[in-house]
Structure 1
């Protein structure tokens, strides 16, 4: 059933007709629309009939008051009048209404008539500009064919988008012009990507079906933009209908679906571009990690085109993805979270996660490395569970040839971090991390360099600390037996072992660290090494 409020939402009416008085009766049903030239004509008014006066009445015309009473007595739906502009009427800024009593958009109606309409509870509408007969035609079309407004809106939506690929901003702007209401495009967290609405958080982004969300004085209509794999919305197109616009809530969803299809086309095209760029980045990363000589001019050109940096000191990172995650769409989000923590890094889709690195112009001090590790740990906490599962961080390595080394360390650290919930599934390759990683590296080409790096603080120290540590671990941590093997006093052995723990920052009472150091000592003390 059509109501006065529904007629006010017609495109032909919404720009010209205003409610002057009697707003309490806007939900009255309308079954017929009758044009009349003279308010005083004694025609019979039918129940649920809206009377449209086609000639502007004079201000304070008693005949208009009489018409209001006849319509109320007959059970009519309301009265619409064209209003003439008084010479001195000036519209109040930003209100769309004239400054004087009973004036609407610069068109005056007497205050007594307005008070009468309010008292009777009968909608009194004012037509500002245009031909009232055009309003009659639009209203009768809606009454004769209730679906015609929906069909016209859907056709207009198809013409607006016309199977073309539009950016999200274009989709929102065109749909907003089409509907005449606020429109926004939300991401899967309910945050606006384009446009603006009053209550974006009211949309239930975890329910993947079209939604109608009641609001105070209106409602939100939301339609998901679905991608086939995975079949869940990544974006939501939302229209905010308030006031008389809420009366079109039944006809807006098909137009919203047409616009959502335009968003889907953009998503698909954008996804193809993302995957193409991801393949190029992954291929370039593979070439850099396999680099065993000075990079060629062509490779340097590809690196420059990608905006990557080969000079300086690199710190690698490896991020393991949560199971079954589609990596490509999340690369930009990972970069955003890292930047929010103050880390500018290259991030590349690689295997079942992401490989990346950040670069320092000069060799970073231990304090700067610790600061970087703290920032990366903070970023990991934000990503953990939703995108990332575990993270590993390598040590600083210089120049192009050092990139593969720090990335290899970060990869091994991430593999070990995946089994360390007590460390927050995060591991940085520092001295302690090196001791842990040696257990993982015994089957890799990086084992011997890592062993030498771990024991490096003991070299050139008085007391032959590496040999003392090796003998101590061979003797199953027996100071007495170690003293006998080395031919020194047991107090000397105890002092040397204490210095070893302080220099390496390890606890030889910890079995993992003890085993890792034992393997390292065996590696660097083998004949020929």
Structure 2
């Protein structure tokens, strides 16, 4: 079904035809467009007619009022007129009541405030009011009526012509060349004369811009249509073949009369989405090639049994890796099935957001990395680094379910191998330590392991359970809170972050623990005993 609003969205009509009055009838069905030289000679031919007055109409011509009534009586769709030149003593953009001596009812200056494209014309104010009252669209033209007639009749005779022309234009715009997302979005916007953008699955723009990107939500609907206040937003997924869900959405925002083309635009969106997919495939191949190169270089380094060769040092330098200095290794584990190649950029972005500039390499089910210091880092600097890495791990855990282990500082190439190995050991244990926030630093790991070995006796476990018995069945999960508090070196803030509760809640729970157990956690001997007990009662059986 073609409506008057749909006619206004035709390329030949856009900007050349404007609604002067009767907007309530824009959704009326338009079945034909008939030219008429004399407004007084109209003879109804059937419902759904758009009557196009091809000769200029003088302001105040009573025949136009009569034509509007006849069109309404015949269930016509709209009336389109070519405006006449306004009176010389009255500016085209005047509003009713501004010109002295104006005829009764006034004039709608400059075709209701001026036509798009600079059209100068006038229609009696009373005629505009009549069109509004009758609910029939009164349109004003600033172009050759013959061009408008031909375009409208072609579309009415074959509604798919517009779609076919748009698809053909899209194929020409997005040929077989690989375009970056910015290029695809720019060409799409030009093709549709509408805002376009490429969004990620969270609705964040990667290229281009639309007014309401948050209206898009990743769904398994192709294409997706979202109603806006004055239009529609169309979205089409762009994903790699076999991907479980779209990584990106190509969107276009159609507002006003352009929204009437919403039925044909998805075909052009599909063509443009194919161009994005070609870029994704090309980009993915580059990522995988780089990942294989980095992973192979890391493997050669980890297999070293002595000093690296000149060729290996050259490869490391080409990759931007420093082999000299002091290194602190890190290992980030990922859940099975996560696309580590595609997620590397996110991992690097999160680390840099915390101020950590590290080498990150796809390695197994996760990433191996390290950060390098020119001089041996102080204990305070290592502690600060651990804090920032712990914060980064929390962010990665929310988005990717990651866990992290951190090694100690070691110098040179052999030190790089050592710290990376330590980080891997710590990460394996971190994966099973929710009380530590799925994060372990190897220094803490060594002490924890020592405590556990000391506590693994037949007599200590019953004593540990008896020591913590007053905390059982108490609200607030006091044993877990105490364990996390001791693992966090008595930091209220860090414990709150690990448990996901407010710091005041942690402080209140620790006070209850001290009161129930009758101890003072400021005393290191009591902290050590309780740490041993918590580790013992919370470790997995066997």
Q: Same fold (TM over 0.5)?
A: yes
2:306 maps to what in 1?
A: 293
1:317 maps to what in 2?
A: 330
Matched ranges for 1:114-263 at <5 A: 114-129=128-143, 131-207=144-220, 209-263=222-276
Q: Which moved more, 1:412-421 or 1:63-72?
A: 63-72
Tell me, yes or no, if the aligned pair for 1:319 and 1:355 is still in contact at 8 Å: yes
1:483 maps to what in 2?
A: none
2:441 maps to what in 1?
A: 428
User: Take 2:131 and 2:531, find their aligned partners in 1: how far apart are those partners?
Assistant: 92
Tell me, yes or no, if the aligned pair for 1:319 and 1:388 is still in contact at 8 Å: no
* Offset at residue 337 of structure 1 (A): 0.8
User: Take 1:100 and 1:512, find their aligned partners in 2: how far apart are those partners?
Assistant: 82
1:466 maps to what in 2?
A: none
Q: Which moved more, 1:40-49 or 1:402-411?
A: 40-49
Q: Using a 3 Å threshold, how does the CA distance of structure 1 residues 109 and 328 change in structure 2: closer, same or farther?
A: same
* Offset at residue 406 of structure 1 (A): 0.8
* Offset at residue 241 of structure 1 (A): 2.1
* Offset at residue 394 of structure 1 (A): 0.6
State the SS of the aligned residue for 1:55.
strand
2:355 maps to what in 1?
A: 342
* Offset at residue 282 of structure 1 (A): 0.8
Deviations 1:236-269 (A, max 9, x none): 1112222222222221111111111111111111
Tell me, yes or no, if the aligned pair for 2:110 and 2:121 is still in contact at 8 Å: no
What is the CA RMSD across the aligned residues, in angstroms? 3.1
* Offset at residue 411 of structure 1 (A): 0.5
2:410 maps to what in 1?
A: 397
Deviations 1:266-303 (A, max 9, x none): 11111000000001111111222233433333323322
* Offset at residue 39 of structure 1 (A): 2.3
Q: Which moved more, 1:35-44 or 1:341-350?
A: 35-44
Deviations 1:391-440 (A, max 9, x none): 1001111222211111111011001111212111110122x322346799
* Offset at residue 210 of structure 1 (A): 2.2
Q: Using a 3 Å threshold, how does the CA distance of structure 1 residues 506 and 513 change in structure 2: closer, same or farther?
A: farther
Unaligned runs of 5+ in 1: 443-468, 478-500, 515-529
Tell me, yes or no, if the aligned pair for 1:37 and 1:54 is still in contact at 8 Å: yes
User: Take 1:132 and 1:277, find their aligned partners in 2: how far apart are those partners?
Assistant: 60
User: Take 2:85 and 2:379, find their aligned partners in 1: how far apart are those partners?
Assistant: 79
| Equivalent residue for 2:532, pick from 492, 510, 526 | 510
* Offset at residue 385 of structure 1 (A): 5.0
Give the paired residue count. 454
User: Take 1:347 and 1:189, find their aligned partners in 2: how far apart are those partners?
Assistant: 24
User: Take 2:450 and 2:376, find their aligned partners in 1: how far apart are those partners?
Assistant: 24
State the SS of the aligned residue for 1:14.
coil
1:30 maps to what in 2?
A: 30
State the SS of the aligned residue for 2:408.
strand
User: Take 2:255 and 2:212, find their aligned partners in 1: how far apart are those partners?
Assistant: 12
Q: Using a 3 Å threshold, how does the CA distance of structure 1 residues 40 and 235 change in structure 2: closer, same or farther?
A: same
Matched ranges for 1:469-508 at <5 A: none
Matched ranges for 1:429-448 at <5 A: 429-430=442-443, 432-436=444-448
Tell me, yes or no, if the aligned pair for 1:184 and 1:239 is still in contact at 8 Å: yes
State the SS of the aligned residue for 2:169.
helix
User: Take 1:222 and 1:33, find their aligned partners in 2: how far apart are those partners?
Assistant: 33
Matched ranges for 1:256-295 at <5 A: 256-295=269-308
State the SS of the aligned residue for 2:47.
coil
User: Take 2:195 and 2:152, find their aligned partners in 1: how far apart are those partners?
Assistant: 25
User: Take 2:175 and 2:109, find their aligned partners in 1: how far apart are those partners?
Assistant: 41
Tell me, yes or no, if the aligned pair for 1:416 and 1:437 is still in contact at 8 Å: no
Work out which of the two has the higher radius of gyration on C-alpha atoms and give 1 or 2.
Answer: 1
State the SS of the aligned residue for 2:233.
strand
* Offset at residue 381 of structure 1 (A): 0.9
* Offset at residue 118 of structure 1 (A): 1.6
Q: Using a 3 Å threshold, how does the CA distance of structure 1 residues 82 and 307 change in structure 2: closer, same or farther?
A: farther
* Offset at residue 23 of structure 1 (A): 0.4
- The normalised TM-score by structure 2 is 0.77
State the SS of the aligned residue for 2:55.
coil
Q: Does 1:375 align with 2:397?
A: no
State the SS of the aligned residue for 2:402.
strand
1:526 maps to what in 2?
A: none
User: Take 2:322 and 2:381, find their aligned partners in 1: how far apart are those partners?
Assistant: 19
2:18 maps to what in 1?
A: 18
1:498 maps to what in 2?
A: none
* Offset at residue 202 of structure 1 (A): 2.2
State the SS of the aligned residue for 1:330.
helix
Q: Which moved more, 1:415-424 or 1:101-110?
A: 101-110
Deviations 1:79-128 (A, max 9, x none): 11223565886779xxxx98785432332223333222222221011122
2:102 maps to what in 1?
A: none
Deviations 1:156-203 (A, max 9, x none): 111111222111111111111112222121112221111222222222
User: Take 1:126 and 1:429, find their aligned partners in 2: how far apart are those partners?
Assistant: 78
Q: Using a 3 Å threshold, how does the CA distance of structure 1 residues 41 and 102 change in structure 2: closer, same or farther?
A: farther
* Offset at residue 235 of structure 1 (A): 0.8
User: Take 1:99 and 1:39, find their aligned partners in 2: how far apart are those partners?
Assistant: 21
- The normalised TM-score by structure 1 is 0.79
User: Take 1:334 and 1:439, find their aligned partners in 2: how far apart are those partners?
Assistant: 33
* Offset at residue 57 of structure 1 (A): 2.1
1:103 maps to what in 2?
A: 114
* Offset at residue 386 of structure 1 (A): 3.6
State the SS of the aligned residue for 1:11.
coil
User: Take 1:512 and 1:44, find their aligned partners in 2: how far apart are those partners?
Assistant: 92
Q: Does 1:67 align with 2:67?
A: yes
1:461 maps to what in 2?
A: none
State the SS of the aligned residue for 1:54.
strand
* Offset at residue 506 of structure 1 (A): 6.5
